[in-house]
Amino acid sequence: EGLKDNLEGLSGYLDANGKVVGSHRDDVGDGDVFAALEGFESHWQKGRDEIREKVENLANMLGEAVSAFEQTDSDVSSAIDTE
């Protein structure tokens, strides 16, 4: 469960730290520099979206594994108690 929660937190962090270049337009000087930064940020956003999606999928799989383990543990415990 802890790992699943950590992965969900990472996914939220990736979402929360999205585009930042636009707020610094006046700080970078030349328009070409700003355009290059925007291009980099756009490509990085696509990569971050892919990473976020994979992290979310992994968190879901871990949650399902935990549920399956708990169910199996409960079933085995019940079977032992009835013997």
SS (H, E, C) 31-68: HHHHHHHHHHHHHHHHHHHHHHHHHHHHHHHHHHHHHH
CA distance 59 to 34: 36
Q: Residues 19, 46: contact at Cβ < 8 Å?
A: no
What pLDDT score does 33 carry?
86
HSE at residue 11, side-chain half, CA atoms within 13 A, is 16
The residue behind tokens 């992994």 is 58
- What is the percentage of the chain residues whose pLDDT exceeds 90? 17
Q: How confident is the model at residue 48 (pLDDT cuts 50, 70, 90)?
A: confident
